[in-house]
Chain A
Amino acid sequence: MQINVKIKRYNPEADARPYWAEYKLEARGSDRVLDVINHLKWEVDGTLAFRRSCAHGICGSDAMLINGVNRLACKVLVKDLGERITIEPIRGLPVLKDLIVDMEPFFDAYKAVMPFFINDDPPPPAERYQSAEDRAIFDETTKCILCAACTTSCPVFWTNGRYLGPAAIVNAHRFIFDSRDQGAAERLGVLNQANGLWRCRTAYNCTEACPRDIPITRVIEEVKRALLWRGA
């Protein structure tokens, strides 16, 4: 079918400000949006810039604002969008070129919550035991691929770029609720600060945006409760 694709473009070496470019092309309903923009790059305009790698929703490279919703270009099909497709860079992070944004602030927020396993006891010769039930408690938050779809759909983050954002909270949750980890108090301390957890206004955008179906709003609630119960 014929589709009409509008892309918000910006080349820092040539354009004073971003502009909308429109393309008409043939596509199949089963094409991924990534196939569509690859086609544009390969056949129509080689200068179009975006990140991609795995092409099946696992590497987190290609979160974009597609028809008004943050999603991975490789995980949404043309048939689910219809004939008119609008693509913009994700919001709240500096645009570097076309659909490529500066991810450093996002990764800085992630790193701030100490997203690594902390347990200073000497490890046993084999594995540490963990019950299947304890493992299940944080299963969902282990799925995060750091695509930034959640954080960049958050209205609080748009107005306050220093808000740690949902992705950082998700990754803090992954460790706070891991029965083997000993760093919960420290992480909760970070989240309790001015630009932490309490900024969340439960807008639900993050949950809707997450391509890994992580129930982010619930996750944030769980961390809030942990903070109230355990203190920080």
Chain B
Amino acid sequence: MSEDGTNRLMNRAHRFDVIVVGAGGAGLMAARYAAQHPGVSVAVISKLYPTRSHTGAAQGGVGAALGNVSEDHPEWHAFDTIKGGDYLTDQDVAERFAVEVIEAVYELEHMGLPFNRTPEGKIAQRKFGGHTREFGKSAVERACYAADRTGHMILQTLYQQSIKDRVNFFNEFHVLDMIMEDGACHGVVAYELATGEIHTFHAKATIIATGGNGRMFRVTSNAHALTGDLMSIAYRRGLPIEDPEFYQFHPTGLYKLGVLLTEGARGEGAILRNGDGERFMERYAPTIKDLAPRDMVSRAMYLEVREGRGAGPDKDYLHLDLTHIDAHIIETRLPDITEFARIYLGVDPVKELVPIQPTAHYAMGGIPTTIDTQVISDGQNTIVPGLYAAGEVACASIHGANRLGTNSLGDLIVFGRRAGIEAAKFAASESFTDLPAGVQDRTRELVDTVRKGKRTERVSHLRRELQDTMQEHASVFRTEAFLSRQVDILRELQERYKGVGVEDEGHQFNTELLEAIELGFLLDNAEQLVHAALNRTESRGAHSREDHKERDDTEWLKHTLIYKDGDGVRIDYKPVTLGKYEPKPRTY
């Protein structure tokens, strides 16, 4: 697993040309491409076994204008992405993405990915929210899918390839710090779960691919492990986070549990109904109805509930109706989500309506990067040498203010690949510099503080309070009053967090310790989101302010960059890269 070296101390210091943090779709793609560069050594560090990464949970599909089912073009895909992002998308990024994702999907197929097939034997495609033909005329089949486990197939296929390519893995190593000196990154410091030992990974280039942060909300489709670790670490290290206020709520989470039912269900014809049985989306998006983008559907659902048209005894949820769809299609194209409804809610989607509510799903914002995945440190695009980011953790920004379904998996493969290529190129042209003294100090201090904590506060209680209040004050609809209240709550939670500690004094598999540290990361993520949301006095995409209902392009057609500043925050901006498409009102 690691390099030669006889004593354990030596083994705790590692050196690779390129280090990839994270083994989801983005990380595995990056590792594959970095390793193809001759003479470049690569290792992947992941707090989970690679196949446990949340890319495996993605269901519906990966969007690419292959045109296998009906005519399609990358220009249409780019336009939909930009419009879906409510014009906060950087248009150069979206245009390149829409072209490259086509090659990337073919490449996955060449790696053996078992897509479903059309009658002619091509990759099968289906409809998905916000994906249209001819710039908004009607829905188009663009989502390439493998039943409702497309993400699982991508993760498995990439992991399989990494076995073939003999990639080095450090599994169950939890990165707790980045090594930064003079504005450049020289690797990371990680905690080994099995032993409690702290390891230094010295690298010429580091790629961050650590996924999302949905665990800051109570109802989420995200795994327990999605705690925004690196978004917090970068922030603590003085780097900005871009557009954290844009957080996506997916319309169809299982009631109370948040487990996702893919939009692909609506792509196959499922319908949203309110408590009166009405197909309410007809009122909100007359043209594409149930296949409107997620931000619009989630808001419509909130309004239905608020206006008393919810379902159930408390009228607090809605229904997804698949009962009119051929049972065979449900069983073959949507088997997993059918099983989720049966197991977790005891409801059979073939015959019954499925209770659903919006679920916290995806961070559009993240660590800011250039179109080539280089991390930047300010609004002037100053590059942080040696640091790259891709996948959900990064913000290029392709998704703008609201991501379209199927564009994340596309993002992983296009920008994961790009990050691998760029990082390897950089590493090949650089030599190792000496590491700064005391590289492990901050990590040791972080671990020791929690280990020796007074335990006057329980991690689980603080986390629950964080999740409940974020859900209440900073989710689908926002106001100044609620957000200000949440700023105060977060300040108080940060204060109380100083009182956490752990019962487990052991060194081996101290998962309690890591959960406590992850909560600290989550609190930072929440802080970024709430301050940025309070600051942005307009409504755009997923950020919907009831006290500022309109999109304001004169004042706010710009990206947020939020920095940690002492105990507070500092906000700066970065221009949106515009292009062919003039911002227009967003109707569907």
* Chain A interfacial positions (CB closer than 8 Å to B): 11-14, 30, 32, 41-43, 45-47, 49-61, 75, 77, 96-98, 100, 103, 107, 111, 114-117, 119, 123, 125-132, 135, 138-139, 142-146, 175, 178, 180-181
Contact = CB atoms under 8 A, between A and B. Distances in A.
A123 B109 CA distance: 10
10 tightest Cβ-Cβ pairs between the two chains A and B: A117-B112, A42-B460, A129-B121, A46-B503, A116-B160, A116-B164, A47-B504, A46-B512, A123-B110, A59-B52
Given A47-B512, A60-B52, A142-B146, A13 B506 contact: yes
Contacts of B225: 53
11 contacts: A14-B506, A53-B48, A53-B223, A116-B112, A116-B161, A127-B106, A127-B110, A127-B123, A135-B114, A139-B114, A142-B156
B194 interface: yes
B506 A47 contact: yes
B116 A56 contact: no
A58 B224 CA distance: 13
Nearest to A133: B117
Contacts, number: 152
A53 B336 CA distance: 17
Contacts of A103: 49
Nearest to B260: A56
Interface in B195-246: 223-225
B170 to A, nearest CB: 13
Nearest to B107: A123
A13 B161 CA distance: 37
Contacts of B152: 58, 143, 145
Contacts of A98: 509
**Count class of interface residues, chain B:** 35 or more
Task: Label chain A's interface by main secondary structure.
Answer: loop
Nearest to A42: B460
A117 B111 contact: yes
Contacts of B157: 117
B122 interface: yes
Interface string B496-518: 00000011101111111000000
Nearest to B346: A30
B51 A145 contact: yes
B120 A129 contact: yes
A97 B54 contact: no
B48 A130 contact: no
Contacts of B460: 42-43
A123 B108 CA distance: 11
A75 B111 contact: no
Contact of B110 (A41, A43, A128, A142): A128
B183 interface: no
A55 B458 contact: no
Contacts of A77: 343-344
Contact of B149 (A119, A138, A143): A143
Contacts of A12: 508
B57 interface: yes
Nearest to B111: A117
Interface string B121-147: 111000000000000000000000011
Nearest to A127: B109
B82 to A, nearest CB: 26
B270 to A, nearest CB: 19
B275 interface: no
B150 to A, nearest CB: 11
A129 B149 CA distance: 20
A170 B270 CA distance: 33
B112 A56 contact: no
Contacts of B146: 142
B408 to A, nearest CB: 16
Contacts of A145: 51, 56, 152
A127 B346 CA distance: 39
Given A117-B157, A132-B117, A132-B121, A75 B343 contact: yes
Contacts of B111: 117
B176 interface: no
Interface in B315-342: 336, 340
Given A49-B509, A116-B164, A142-B153, A135 B110 contact: no
A115 B111 CA distance: 12
Contact of B163 (A13, A43, A58, A115): A115
Contacts of A97: 506, 508-509
Contact of B54 (A43, A54, A114): A54
Contact of A178 (B54, B114, B119): B114
Interface in B238-291: 257, 259
